Structure 1
Amino acid sequence: MFGCWGATEVTVVSHFLKWINTARVSERAAAASALAQAYVGKNLPFEDRCAAEAALTLLLEDPSAKVRMAIAEALSMSRHAPPQILAALASDQPDIASLVLARSPLFTDDDLIDRVASSVGTVQRIVAGRPYVSMAVSAAIAELGEAEACVALLANSGADIATLSFRRVAERFGHVAAVREALVVDPRLPSDCRHMLLVKVGEVLRQSPLVAASIGPVRAERVMRDACVKASLTLIDGIRFDEHAALVEHLRLRGDLTSAFIVRVVAHGKIDFFGSVLVGLTKQHRKRVTALLAGGRDIALAALFRAAGLPASIDGVVLCALKVWREVASGKRIAGAQEVSWLMLNELGDRPADTNLTALLKSIHLEALRGNAREHALAIAAA
């Protein structure tokens, strides 16, 4: 009786409303689905559409979730569905609400943001997985969503995510392994967020009871700090040149642009990034900084270092390293961090001992020795 709706819908709907009180659940669900499909088919006269809409509205009160699910399935992808019915279905139990929220094109950004703000868990995750998620909705999920919703958002190639939203997710859930993994594999992730995740991992390890019991809190702090510095150097190699400025600013705000870090950067030959550091700290034009690093005299470079706030105590070793890397760049010399750090150590010579700088350069040199030896051993094993 209710599988097809013809030209007498008002009469049919009238019979339908009397019939539903005695019909079985499966019959009510089938009839509700047929009525909803007829409604969105756009072939009903105005009077019949009003009657069908009234019947669908009444069916929202059906005690069986199967009936409401049938309506949701029929209306969820239509632009002609009654908005008040969709709104009610979106507030229904999770499996029904999720179906509508995942599909319906009628929900505006404001509607979706309200759902994110007033819901938890499954509903947030469904919104995050919609075929298209605007930057505004992504921002709401990044700010208010639970961890699983943020994972779903990051996995959604149809989500438009702002740089600031990436940062908020990293700040809020960088300590959660699933979120961290989703962030790291996302090619859109800004470089400063990648560094933030490195720090989060270090903090998780430092706070681990096992680590604290094994090596003590003081040593755990030092190990974490050293590991983050080394990871930061590796990170520099993996980011685009146009991301240098953002990473420099992030490191500056965190207080990580220390003289020790800069000595490491130069010793490892990351001169382009060193140039970005100097540009960020001095606000001088990049062309001038690049020209000075490529061939500037020591006096001019020392003045540049003072403008950047670098201590004079590191001038000698930094200038020594720059000269070696210039020769490497011009093809006049073959050298790596191992040779450069040794020459930097020799540059200290008989000057009054700076024990911290000496210890730092020895550490860099020993790390380079170990790294080269490991690569050599692996090459032998692979031969």
Structure 2
Amino acid sequence: MVVSHFLKWIGTARVSERVAAAAALARAYVDRELAFEDRCAAEAALTLLLDDASAKVRQAMAEALSMSRHAPVQIVAALASDQPEVARFVLARSPLLTDADLIDRVATGQKATQSLIAGRPVVSMAVAAAIAEIGEPEACLDLLANGGAEIASLSFRRMAERHGHLPAVREALVSHAGLPADCRHMLLVKLGEALKGAPLVLALMGAARAERMLRDACMKASLTLIEATRAEEHAALVEHLRLRGDLTSAFLIRTVAHGKVDFFGAALVALTGQSGQRVGALLSGGHDTALKALFRAAGLAEATYIVILRALKVWRDVANGKRVAGVQEVSWLMLKELGGQGAEGELASLVKSIHLEALRRNARGHALAIAAA
């Protein structure tokens, strides 16, 4: 259809005819089938169609132009600001929309607009950050499910902070391979708080017992979390625990008893301000006097030194291939330093609880192995 004839005809055509014509003209424009003068006229005609009374006409035009880098920028921008059923094609896939355009629409758009942008084939770190900061839960879910989204650690944290109390978002975050360790711990705590406040839990246990069980469960889960945390993420996890007040002497003693020496070192780096290289050297081969000075600088109680040193020596031998040992043996040797099973006091109770937990875990594993044989 010649563009000049199209412009004369458009005023009297029916909606269905205008829809077909708008789609055909848009496709001809992006496919570069028109001569230069006709392209200029076609661009004018497409601009005129932005004012068409029928959303179906604008929708057909948006669909035809949405995936092309050769579409008129001003027309794409206008379609992106149109009503949702028109804008969705452009918002979801147009390569002409810049990060600034998309961020602006995340900030001012409706829930559906945010979700469309979160599901684009490629979502930059800046756009992902905007969705994480102000997006609705549904948009965050779409972002987390998008393999083409580049999500910064800070954006994971903001989604965990803002929507981590929602089961669907919490599950999507935990399932994401890129979730930092400190965010996993945050979600773990949120889950525990949700369970602690559940009416059934309160009815069965009471508030005090539920609080105690939550604390114990979070500590055990934190140890498991450390196992799955890359060494380069230890510092972030340490800082997260420290800000929460969870980086206690009791927790550090547990980490050493369970052989999490690298994490223990990261905690000492944060608490003392000394370099990771120096702390690592002391933990792997330092004398007791130097290690005690390190523990003192970290603010650990002097009474804890004896059990920490005993555990470190055993794990050193294990690392050097001089012996085979696990948490059960290490915790028993730590307890012996305090006087054995008859020892009393908070520190002895802590080490005894670590040893009993190891005994139960090993016995359970042995029973399961027998049953499976």
| Superposed displacement of residue 209, structure 1 | 1.9
| Superposed displacement of residue 68, structure 1 | 2.0
Residue type at the aligned position of 1:31: A
- For 2:93 and 2:151, the matched residues in 1 are separated by 20
**Which residue number in structure 2 is paired with residue 9 of structure 1?**
3
Alignment of 1:359 onto 2:353: no
Alignment of 1:274 onto 2:268: no
1:84-123 aligned at under 5 Å gives the runs: 84-123=74-113
**Which residue number in structure 1 is paired with residue 286 of structure 2?**
296
- For 2:154 and 2:309, the matched residues in 1 are separated by 37
**Which residue number in structure 1 is paired with residue 179 of structure 2?**
189
Gaps of 5+ in 1: none
Alignment of 1:134 onto 2:128: no
1:27-106 aligned at under 5 Å gives the runs: 27-45=17-35, 47-106=37-96
| Superposed displacement of residue 341, structure 1 | 1.4
**Which residue number in structure 1 is paired with residue 254 of structure 2?**
264
**Which residue number in structure 2 is paired with residue 162 of structure 1?**
152
**Which residue number in structure 1 is paired with residue 211 of structure 2?**
221
1:334-345 aligned at under 5 Å gives the runs: 334-345=324-335
The percentage of aligned residue pairs carrying the same residue is 69
| Superposed displacement of residue 66, structure 1 | 2.5
- For 1:287 and 1:113, the matched residues in 2 are separated by 42
Residue type at the aligned position of 2:236: A
- Alignment root-mean-square deviation, CA: 2.0
Q: 1:45 to 1:331 in 2, by over 3 A?
A: closer
- For 1:285 and 1:27, the matched residues in 2 are separated by 73
**Which residue number in structure 2 is paired with residue 231 of structure 1?**
221
User: Does the CA contact (< 8 Å) of 1:9 and 1:51 recur in 2?
Assistant: yes
User: Does the CA contact (< 8 Å) of 1:13 and 1:52 recur in 2?
Assistant: no
User: Does the CA contact (< 8 Å) of 2:3 and 2:45 recur in 1?
Assistant: no
**SS of equivalent to 1:86:** helix
Aligned residues: 372
Residue type at the aligned position of 1:13: F
1:213-234 CA distance string (max 9 Å, x none):
2211121111111111111101
TM-score, normalization: structure 1? Answer: 0.91
Gaps of 5+ in 2: none
TM-score, normalization: structure 2? Answer: 0.93
- For 1:300 and 1:77, the matched residues in 2 are separated by 65
- For 1:113 and 1:330, the matched residues in 2 are separated by 53
Among 236, 243, 250, the alignment partner of 1:246 is: 236
**SS of equivalent to 1:18:** coil
**SS of equivalent to 2:10:** helix
Residue type at the aligned position of 1:336: G
- For 2:214 and 2:358, the matched residues in 1 are separated by 19
User: Does the CA contact (< 8 Å) of 1:120 and 1:146 recur in 2?
Assistant: no
- For 1:373 and 1:120, the matched residues in 2 are separated by 55
User: Does the CA contact (< 8 Å) of 2:10 and 2:18 recur in 1?
Assistant: no
**Which residue number in structure 2 is paired with residue 177 of structure 1?**
167
| Superposed displacement of residue 286, structure 1 | 2.6
Residue type at the aligned position of 1:290: G
Alignment of 1:149 onto 2:139: yes
Q: Which moved more, 1:47-56 or 1:300-309?
A: 47-56
